[in-house]
Amino acid sequence: MFKGALRDWEIPGNDTLAPLKLRTAYIHSSEEAAQVADARERALVKAEDALEWIRNGLGGRYYKTREQVERRIGRIIGVHITGLIDVTVTTSHVGKLTIAWQRNQPAIDTAASFDGTYALATNLPGRITAGHVLRLYKDQQIVERRHRDMKHTLKVRPIFLHNDDRVHALISIVGIALLIFGLIEARTRAALGPPLRLTSRQRWRRFST
C-alpha cells in the first residue's frame, strides 16, 4: 500500500544559476516499511551475536588489547546500525577487559518512524500527482535493467574513441542491439504466458547461447 503527498520545493539560485523549482512527492510504502524493519532487526541480531563472540574471546589471541576489541566493534557496528546499539568496553584495575552492550531503543524508534518513507523530486512542469511521480520512479528499473543487459549480456566493454562520429556510431550500434534484445525478451515473455516468469539466470542462458 502506498500513500503520498506533494509539496513545492525551490532550490535557491546564485549569481549564475536561477532558482530551481521542483515538485516533491513524499511516498510511504507499507511493504517497504516492513522490509526495512525486518532488515534492521536482522542486522541488530547479527551484531549482538558478533559481540557475544567477542565477549567469549576476550583475553584470547585476537582480543588481547582494548584497541583490538574496539577495532572489531567498529567493523561490527556498521553505518546501518550506528547509534542503535551502545557498546561499552572497560578495563579493570588488573587489566581485565569486559564488554557490555544494549539496544538504544529511542534511536531505534526514531529510525523506525522513517521506515518506508522517501522523497521523489521532479522538475516536470504543471500539476503532477504523487501517483504519477511514483509510476515514473518505478519505471526506472526498465532503464537500469537495460544498463545491466548492456554490460553483461551484450558484453559491451569500454572503448576509448577520439572521433565524435565514431562515438555516435558506437552509441547507435549499442542502442540498436538493446532494442533488438528488448524485443526478443518481450516476445519470449509473451510466449511464456502469465503463469510463468523468466528469471535473470534464464534470460542469461537463453540469450547467451
The tens place of each residue's pLDDT in the chain, 209 residues long, gives 778 788 888 889 888 888 888 888 888 889 999 999 999 999 999 999 999 999 999 988 888 889 999 999 999 998 889 999 999 999 887 888 999 999 999 999 999 999 999 888 888 766 677 778 878 888 888 888 888 888 888 887 778 888 999 999 988 998 898 889 889 888 888 888 776 665 554 544 544 44
What stretches of 58-129 show up as alpha helix (H) in DSSP?
Answer: 66-76, 105-112
Residues 125 and 174 in one domain: no
* Inside any domain, residue 155: yes
* Inside any domain, residue 82: yes
* Inside any domain, residue 172: yes
* Inside any domain, residue 135: no
118 touches 9 (CB < 8 A): no
Residues 10 and 103 in one domain: yes
Question: Phi/psi at 187 (nearest 5 deg)?
Answer: -65, -40
Q: Which segments of 71-132 are extended strands (E)?
A: 85-91, 97-103, 117-122
Residues 126 and 167 in one domain: no
With a threshold of 0.75, does the pTM exceed it?
Answer: no
Q: Which amino acid, one-letter code, is at 6?
A: L
Residues 92 and 3 in one domain: yes
Residues 124 and 158 in one domain: no
Residue 153's domain spans which residues?
140-208
Please, which residues have CB within 8 angstroms of residue 3's CB and are 6 or more apart in sequence? 27, 28
Q: What is the CA angle 48-53-56, rounded to 5?
A: 125
